């Protein structure tokens, strides 16, 4: 490669690298790679001061091999059509690699969120939803958005409310978007899902002795040093779960700078500090680094880039001193930097697998909305009673007193969050096993990203073959 590739070109470069191992017809592979639809929207916004501003927004639907399509909506000033198309493509491959039955999509609105009032953001979100609805780019069976960078439950609540207004007689209207507040049909556990998926996936990757031996690491998470770039929703929750498992968070970087303590920091205290002064800098238990990029280059066991794309490129790849890069963001490592780091012996756990926790739990929410039954509602009380009965029988048989602590630990039925966590953990573990099997069996020096793309391409292409569209 020469020069800096655009984001979608990087995605397609990774696709082409993997496609040659699949054996499918070139025409079929071109269909799998191509973006099916891109919708560019412009609409006027009346600001609170009465002035008019033209808003630009997009929605890309990369693959219609299966319906609906699925993908987040981001609010950011630097978004463009290339970025939204690339992110939609990554969503197609991500859904395929974790066996979630969606095609890939992505949406974005070109704004700096902090420059708008809440009332203005509501007007933007509702108008964007109206424009999507008008062209059938949103709906439970057509295209289902979700939160992304710069959006969250509030924006999803505005979207579902607007969609329901436009679709009065649609029984499944609340399934038009995921990541909603639980009170509006969301699922318990969605907020932390992407970060938790990053933790589950990395923990499982670190469980294979032979893989860790090559990196000079012990198995497991406990005691490993971790750097987190970006402590938004994904980065914070990933750091939280790594810390709970005994990892040391030694460095945190954000747009305002970076902080470092080789003995580790308490992520909860860092977040309290940031909430108080609107910055991670000057945290009492750490020192400020000269700039935010320095934080990526400190020696560590696991580096978690959880911000935006192209954070590790050939401009800084040779200074990266992590043994494992866990891609919590979409496309944080450029294609050429990925090649360089792989040859250097760094394990890169790829984004199209590792940050799929969000879409996995979004799938659970979508299923919940379509079934109109909360997870655990039909079984929790039965399981409570059944487990209590077993404990009571054991007490009668063996004469051992069953303490309240035993009942708390063993005698309860699974809640919605319990079921969501269990489903996510199973998804991340089984998907990694398939990727690793491909990684181990392909007779070439491929990396985990190429193995994940091979898995995705095989699954999507097989849909077209089974439909009889391609031989």
Give me the active site residues, please.
106
Backbone dihedral region of 148: left (phi > 0), alpha (psi from -120 to 50 degrees) or beta?
beta
What single DSSP character describes residue 258? E
Do strands 248-254 and 225-229 pair parallel, antiparallel, or not at all (unpaired)? parallel
DSSP string, 160-217: HHHHHHH-TT-TTGGGG-SS--GGGT--TT-TTHHHHHHHHHHHHHTT-HHHHHHHT-
247, 224 contact by CB (below 8 A): yes
Six token digits for residue 464 = 């077209």
CA angle 342, 18, 348 (to 5 degrees): 30
* 393 bridge partner residues: none
**CA atoms of 91 and 85, how far apart (whole Å):** 10
Which residues have C-beta within 8 Å of that of residue 168, sequence separation ≥ 6? none
Within 202-321, strands assigned E span 225-229, 248-254, 257-265, 287-288, 300-305
**CA atoms of 318 and 224, how far apart (whole Å):** 22
346, 333 contact by CB (below 8 A): no
CA angle 311, 314, 318 (to 5 degrees): 100
Which residues have C-beta within 8 Å of that of residue 255, sequence separation ≥ 6? 292
Do strands 287-288 and 257-265 pair parallel, antiparallel, or not at all (unpaired)? antiparallel
């Amino acid at each position: 490669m020469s020069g800096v590739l655009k984001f979608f070109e990087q995605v397609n470069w990774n696709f082409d690298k993997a496609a040659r191992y699949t054996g499918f017809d070139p025409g079929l592979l071109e269909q799998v790679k191509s973006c099916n639809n891109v919708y560019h929207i412009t609409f006027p916004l009346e600001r609170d001061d009465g002035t008019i501003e033209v808003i630009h927004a997009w929605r890309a639907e990369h693959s219609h091999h299966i319906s609906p399509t699925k993908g987040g909506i981001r609010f950011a000033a630097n978004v463009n059509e290339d970025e939204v198309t690339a992110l939609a493509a990554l969503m197609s491959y991500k859904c395929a690699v974790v066996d979630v039955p969606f095609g890939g999509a992505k949406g974005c609105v070109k704004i700096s969120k902090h420059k708008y009032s809440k009332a203005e953001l509501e007007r933007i979100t509702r108008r964007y939803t109206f424009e999507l609805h008008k062209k059938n780019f949103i709906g439970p069976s057509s295209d289902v958005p979700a939160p992304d960078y710069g959006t969250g439950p509030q924006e999803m609540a505005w979207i579902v409310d607007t969609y329901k207004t436009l679709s009065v007689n649609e029984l499944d209207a609340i399934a038009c978007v995921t990541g909603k507040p639980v009170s509006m049909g969301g699922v318990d556990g969605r907020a932390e899902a992407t970060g938790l998926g990053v933790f589950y996936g990395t923990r499982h990757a670190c469980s294979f002795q032979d893989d860790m031996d090559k990196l000079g690491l012990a198995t497991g998470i406990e005691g490993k040093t971790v750097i987190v770039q970006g402590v938004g929703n994904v980065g914070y929750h990933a750091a939280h779960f790594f810390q709970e498992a005994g990892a040391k968070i030694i460095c945190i970087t954000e747009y305002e700078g970076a902080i470092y303590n080789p003995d580790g920091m308490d992520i909860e205290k860092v977040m309290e500090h940031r909430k108080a002064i609107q910055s991670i800098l000057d945290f009492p238990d750490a020192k400020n680094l000269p700039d935010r990029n320095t934080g990526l280059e400190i020696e560590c066991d696991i580096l978690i880039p959880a911000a935006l794309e192209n954070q590790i490129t050939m401009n800084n790849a040779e200074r990266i001193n992590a043994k494992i890069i866990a891609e919590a963001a979409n496309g944080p490592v450029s294609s050429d930097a990925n090649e360089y780091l792989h040859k250097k012996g760094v394990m890169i756990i790829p984004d199209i697998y590792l940050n799929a926790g969000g879409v996995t739990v979004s799938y659970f929410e979508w299923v919940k909305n379509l079934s109109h039954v909360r997870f655990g509602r039909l079984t929790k009380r039965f399981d409570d009673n059944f487990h209590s009965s077993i404990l009571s029988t054991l007490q009668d048989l063996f004469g051992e007193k069953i303490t309240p602590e035993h009942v708390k630990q063993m005698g309860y039925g699974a809640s919605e969050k319990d079921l969501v966590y269990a489903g996510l953990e199973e998804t991340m573990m089984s998907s990694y096993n398939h990727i690793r099997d491909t990684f181990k069996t392909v007779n070439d020096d491929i990396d985990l990203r190429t193995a994940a793309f091979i898995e995705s391409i095989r699954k999507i292409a097989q849909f077209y073959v089974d439909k009889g569209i391609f031989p």
